[in-house]
Amino acid sequence: MSYLLDSHVLLWWLEDSPRIGSATRKILANPDVRILVSAASVWEIGIKQALGKLHAPESVVDLLHEEGFEELAISGKHAEAAARLPPLHRDPFDRLLVAQARLENLTLITHDRAIEAYDVAMLMI
């Protein structure tokens, strides 16, 4: 199985937060499991850093590679699919993650209950 991390899950992993339970930790630490991070999450984190709303590592991209995670680029198909989603969640970054997870057959790891409204494979932490 392959997983896509929501932005907050990535940050929690990088800071070794206890918000990530042991079952999810085993998944994320397993080198045989494919873990992806969307360019949308990197962008979201950078925007929040620039606005002073978030303290995060300087280069999230370098750290995600150090962790053995893969980058997931944003394609035109991802953007179209996100735009076509019903307006059940107002956050454009999360809508893009839902679209990517659906199109790429990924399980989205999140703590955001609003995402449950979409038909997407999820691991809720």
- Domains of the chain with CATH codes: 2-124 (3.40.50.1010)
Instruction: Please give the model's pTM, rounded to 2 decimal places.
Output: 0.95
pLDDT band at 57 (very low <50, low <70, confident <90, very high): confident
3-state secondary structure the chain: CEEEECHHHHHHHHCCCCCCCHHHHHHHHCCCCEEEEEHHHHHHHHHHHHCCCCCCCCCHHHHHHHCCCEEECCCHHHHHHHHHCCCCCCCHHHHHHHHHHHHHCCEEEECCHHHHHCCCCEEEC
Average pLDDT over residues 18-30: 97
pLDDT of 85 > 90? The answer is: yes
Residue 48 pLDDT exceeds 90: yes
Predicted pLDDT at 13: 96
How confident is the model at residue 89, as a pLDDT? Answer: 87
Joined tokens for residue 106: 């990924």
- pLDDT(56) > 90: no
Q: What is the pLDDT of residue 90?
A: 87
Of 47-56, 86-95, 99-108, highest mean pLDDT: 99-108
